Amino acid sequence: MVFSSAVFLWLFLPIVFVVNYFLRPKYSNIWLVAASLLFYAWGEPVLVLLMLVSILVNWLTGLGIQKFPGRKTAVLLLGLAFDLCSLGYYKYAGFFAETLNSILGREAVPVPEIALPIGISFFTFQAISYIADVYRGDTEAQPRLINTALYISFFPQLIAGPIVKYREINRQIESRRITVDGIGIGFRRFIYGLSKKVLVSNTLGYCADTIYGLNFEMVSTPMAWIAAISYTFQIYYDFSGYSDMAIGLGQMFGFQIPENFNYPYLSRTIGEFWRRWHISLGSWFREYVYIPLGGNRKGKLRTYLNLFVVFFCTGLWHGASFSFIFWGLYHGFFSILERLGLKKVMEKYRVVGWLYCFAVVHFGWVFFRIDGIRNAWAYIKKMIMPWSYAQADTFLWDYIDNRAVFVMVCAVLGAGLIQAAAPKKLSGKWKGSVAEAACCVILLVLCLASIATDTYNPFIYFQF
């Protein structure tokens, strides 16, 4: 089930919200766990068993760490082994088998066909952060199974984040208040996120998929640029829109879920980009991988090695392919360059820094989107060295219409340019105003109309 589906908007959400509103907190947790498991099982009824086992194992691991302090390291390792093995089996077993067979030049290991549980990377990382925080003494183990289940399975951020640390939300699980103001703020945030997804991301995604779906010989240089730009903004509006919806839903149910995006395309360095893009993932890797490895406390070479490991893991986390690994290391390469001195230059010359960062990120998304590093290189080469290819005689306007152009212009302006230029007083007056309410009503009507008439509705980050 996706947030932008008619079933969710007209049936699931209204029922879950109305019933929850009239329940006392201790019953609310039970109700939300049941709703979350139904939400997850809607598309994967069998794999919900994995979710239930994960909840039970991590709950017992947390209790074991606290009850047996002398053996807490062994208990932690057992819990980590379960989480990482589950993630490795479902997400990477096929990739590892194919890689080994490729190295050996024969099918030494059968390649398993395993259905990937939606959102396994997200809820597994949440589970790991819980037992790691209990181990470090940053939080106490949760004695109630239902509360641990709610933390791991809460449907607003279950399958595409943000990745929430247990200590950020444990008190809200125990006790929270649902207010009319909070519901209003959450509902508006949800509408903005839904609009990003349905009205912007879907339009740009259809354009990108259409061009990328053509034979390479049919793609001209302008078409390659349009496809790349469309995807650059599609993935931002897709993922940030989902995060907005998750945060808005959380507020409607009394939870404060951390922000996950802060206009990343305004960044002037790659380091800044990763402080603005998928903030919860960057924070997770920094806290549970980078700092435990030594961070920047053990000399420059060790710092660069730690960055290499983090970005390797970041790429691998996104998908089981060398394209994703390359994409992660690509970002790591520029992060290290910035630490070697490039950062000072880019921060000094703001426009140059912005152009540099956007170009790096933009071309990086080509590797992220296209299957195969060589294929991605070919597209980039056609974009920046068109004379190396015979230009196709296909007509760009056969694959992009006026609506797509209009949406693309709005996407560029709305990715931070308008927000950065708008006076703070104006933005303050806008929030909660009659004009904003009217705007939200219009956006909601447009979204519902689009959902009712359009069958194209993918979520990019569901595959992770």
Catalytically active residues, by annotation:
318
**SS3 of 229, please?**
helix
* Of 62, 81, 84, 41, residue with least CA distance to 148: 62
- Check if the beta carbon of residue 253 is closer than 8 Å to that of residue 17: yes
User: DSSP states of 408-425 as a string?
Assistant: HHHHHIIIIIHHHHS-HH
Q: In this structure, what is the dihedral angle of CA atoms 153, 155, 158, 163, given to the nearest 10 degrees?
A: -90
Q: Is the dihedral of CA 114, 115, 120, 124 positive or negative?
A: negative
Distances (CA, A) of 201 to 196, 420, 456: 6, 21, 11
- The 3-class SS string of 14-46 reads HHHHHHHHCCCHHHHHHHHHHHHHHHHHCCCCC
User: How does DSSP classify residue 392?
Assistant: P
Cβ-in-10-Å burial (0-12, 13-18, 19+) of 113 comes to exposed
